[in-house]
Structure 1
Amino acid sequence: MTDDALVSWLLDSDPALRWRVERDLVRAPDDVWQETRSRVATEGFGAQLLALQDPDGQWAGGAFFPAGFDMEDTGTDDHPGQPWTATTWSLNALREWGLDPAVLRERRTAELLAQNSRWEYDDLPFWGGEVDCCINAWTLANGAWLGVDVAPLLDAMLAVRMADGGWNCEWVEGSVRSSFHSTLNTLKGLLAHEAATGGTDAARDARRSGKEYLLRRGLFRRESTGEPVAHWVGYFTYPYRAYYSVLNAATYLREASLSDGTPPDPRAADAIEMIRAARQPDGTWLQSPRHPGAVWFEVDAAAGEPSKWLTLDATLVLDWWDGR
C-alpha cells in the first residue's frame, strides 16, 4: 500500500479504532476524533459489548471467569483456553476502546459490581482486587476510570513489587523473581491509574523501577545470558489480553514516554528492530495465532491476515522511535 492507501485502510474501521487513527496518526482536529470516539457507545464493537452487560453490572455472570466456569477445564476440547467474556475482560476492552466512562456511571456499574461481583479467588470483593498482580492492575485501571477509590488496591500492588523492580503474579506462591507478563500488565495499570487520577509519587517510582526491569533486558532478553526469554516475545496478537510481546511492551513505552515527557530509551533498540522486521511490504503487520478461548465476538483479523490494530500500534511505535 501507499501511505495514503494505508491510512485509508486504517480509517475504514470501527469507531473503537478509528478515533485513535484520527488522533494519533492523521492528527485530525480534536473535534473530529472526539466525535468519532463518542460513537463507541452507540455503534460497532462498543455498543455490542455494552448490550451484553448483565443487569447486575457484570458480564457473563463472573468477575474473571464466566459464571460456572471451572478453571480445571481450561485446555480441554470444549475450553481450549481462558474465556475472555467475563467482567474484567469486558471492562478492559471498553476502556481501551475509548468508551466515555459516563456511560457506565449512568448504569451504576461500579456500584453494582461492588454489590454483586466477587473474585473467584477466595470470594473477595471486586474493587478490592485479589492476589494476582495482573488482575489487580486491570482492576486498578478500571476502578480509576469509573471513579472508584482504589487507593487501598494501589498500596497493595506497590507492596508486592519484587527486589528486581518488577512484579510476578506468583508472588503469593513464593516467587521472588519478576516476570515479563506480570511486570508489563502492572505497568499498564499504573499508567492508566495515573492518567485518570494524577497518580502518586510512590506509583511513579514503581513505574520507573518496572520500566528499568524491562529495559535492562532489552524488552526480550534474559539478563543472565542475553538470550531471548521465549519465542512468544515476537508473537503479535490483538487483543493483547494478558500476554507479553515486544510490540505490547513498546506500545506501553511510547505511551509512558509521551506521558512523562521523556525520550525513547536506546536499550529498546533491538526490540524495535524486531517490530520493524515484522512489517510487511505493504506496510501492515500480520496477526499471529490467536490466544485460544471463548470471545463475545471477533474484533480483528484472523491469524495470518493483516491486523489494523497491530498495524496502528506498530506504526505509531516506529514513528515515535524514529522521531527521537
Structure 2
Amino acid sequence: MSPTDVISWLLDSDPALRWQVERDLLDAPPSQWEATRARIPVEGFGAALLAKQDPDGQWAGGAFFPAGFFDDPANQNLPGQPWTATTWTLTTLREWGMDPAPLIERGTAELLAENSHWEYDRSLPYWAGEVDCCINAMTLANGLWLGADVEPLATWFVEHRMEDGGWNCEWESGSVRSSVHSTLNSLRALLIHEQTTGGTKATRAARASGEEYLLERHLAWRLSTQELLGPWVDHFLYPPRHIYSALRALEHFRLAGRRDPRMEEAVSMVREAQQSDGTWLQQKVLPGEVWFDVDVPEGEPSKWITLEALRVLRWWNEG
C-alpha cells in the first residue's frame, strides 16, 4: 500500500478507530472527528460492548473476572484469563475515546459502588481498588472518566511507589524492584489524574519518578545487563491489555508531551517494525475469552497498531 492507501485502509474501520485517524493523522476539523466519535456508543464495537452490560452495572457479573470463574478448577489451567469482566470492558470503552455520557446516564458508577466487589477480597468496594497496581490504575482512570470518587487511589500510588521509582504489582508478595508493565500502567493513570484534576505535588512527583525509571532504561533495556527488557518490548499487540511495549511507552510520553533523547532506540524499534506496504503487523494475541474480536489474528496487518505507530512517529518527527 502507498501512504495514501494506508490512510484509506485505516478510515475503513469502526468509529472507535476512525475518529482517531481523522483527528491525529488527518488533522480533520473537530466537527468531523467529534461526529465520528459520537457514533461509538450507537454502532459497531462500542454499541456491542454497551449491550453486554448487566443490570447491576457490571459486565460478565464480576469486577476483574467473570462471575463464578474461580468455582471451576479447570479455569486455573487456562492459558490466559478472560477479558470480559467490568474493569477490562470499561477500560476498553474509555481508551476508545467514547463519551461516558451513556454510562453516566445508566448510573454505572453508582451501580458499581453498590454491587461490585473485588475477587481478591470481597470486602473491598469497587472504586476503592485492591492491591494490584495495574488493576488500580485502570480503576483510577475509569473512575475519573465516570465521575466516581477515586482520589484515594491517586494517593495509593504515591504510597506504593518503589525505591527505584516505579511500581510492581507483586509488591504484596515481597517484590522490591519495579516492573515496567506495572510502572507504565501506573503512569498512564497518574497522567489521566493530572490532566483531569491537576494532580497534587505528590502525584506529579510520583509520575516524574516513574517516567525517569523508564527513561533510564531507554524504554527498552535492562540496566543490569543491557539486554532487552523482554520479548514483548518490540512485539506490538492489540489489545495490549496490561502488557508493556516500546510502542505503548512512547504513546504515554506522546500524551504527556515529553520528548527525551533516550527514547530514540524505542522509536527505532517502531520504525523497523513497519512493513513494506506501510502497515504494522499484529505480533501477539493474548489468549483468553473476549466478547468479540476487535483486531486481526497474529501475523496480519493491524489497523489499531498501525494507527498508534503512525501517530507516535508523527509526534516524534515533528519534534
Same fold judged by TM-score > 0.5? yes
- Whether 1:310 aligns to 2:305 is yes
CA RMSD of aligned residues (A): 1.2
Q: Distance in 2 between matches of 1:253 and 1:93?
A: 20
Residue equivalent to 2:198: 198
Residue equivalent to 1:108: 107
Residue equivalent to 1:182: 182
CA offset at residue 29 of structure 1? 0.2
Residue equivalent to 1:161: 161
CA offset at residue 99 of structure 1? 1.2
User: Which AA in structure 2 matches 1:295?
Assistant: V
- Whether 1:274 aligns to 2:273 is no
Deviation track 1:115-174 (CA, whole Å, cap 9, x = no partner) reads 000001111110000010110000000000011111111111210001111000111111
CA offset at residue 227 of structure 1? 1.1
Q: Distance in 2 between matches of 1:211 and 1:176?
A: 18
Residue equivalent to 2:132: 132
Contact between 1:284 and 1:311, CA under 8 Å: does it hold in 2? yes
Q: Distance in 2 between matches of 1:249 and 1:10?
A: 22
Residue equivalent to 2:67: 67
Residue equivalent to 2:228: 228
CA offset at residue 73 of structure 1? 4.4
Contact between 1:6 and 1:283, CA under 8 Å: does it hold in 2? yes
Secondary structure of the corresponding residue to residue 63 of structure 1: coil
Secondary structure of the corresponding residue to residue 144 of structure 1: helix
Q: Distance in 2 between matches of 1:165 and 1:131?
A: 18
Contact between 1:247 and 1:314, CA under 8 Å: does it hold in 2? yes
Deviation track 1:245-278 (CA, whole Å, cap 9, x = no partner) reads 1111111111111xxxx4x111011111111100
Contact between 2:218 and 2:262, CA under 8 Å: does it hold in 1? yes
Give the TM-score taking structure 1 as reference length.
Answer: 0.95
Contact between 1:74 and 1:81, CA under 8 Å: does it hold in 2? no
Contact between 2:82 and 2:290, CA under 8 Å: does it hold in 1? yes
Contact between 2:69 and 2:75, CA under 8 Å: does it hold in 1? no
Query: Greater CA deviation, 2-11 or 32-41?
Result: 2-11
Alignment of 1:1-324 (within 5 A): 1-70=1-70, 73-74=74-75, 76=77, 79-123=78-122, 124-257=124-257, 262=258, 264-324=259-319
Identity over the aligned pairs, expressed in percent?
Answer: 63
Deviation track 1:176-219 (CA, whole Å, cap 9, x = no partner) reads 11001000010111112223333222222111111100010011
Contact between 1:235 and 1:288, CA under 8 Å: does it hold in 2? yes
CA offset at residue 290 of structure 1? 0.3
Contact between 2:281 and 2:305, CA under 8 Å: does it hold in 1? yes
Q: Distance in 2 between matches of 1:288 and 1:30?
A: 33
Question: Unaligned regions of 5+ residues in structure 1, if any?
Answer: none
Deviation track 1:39-87 (CA, whole Å, cap 9, x = no partner) reads 00101000000000000000000000000112964563xx321100000
Moved over 4 A (4+): 71-75
Secondary structure of the corresponding residue to residue 118 of structure 2: coil
The total of aligned residue pairs comes to: 317
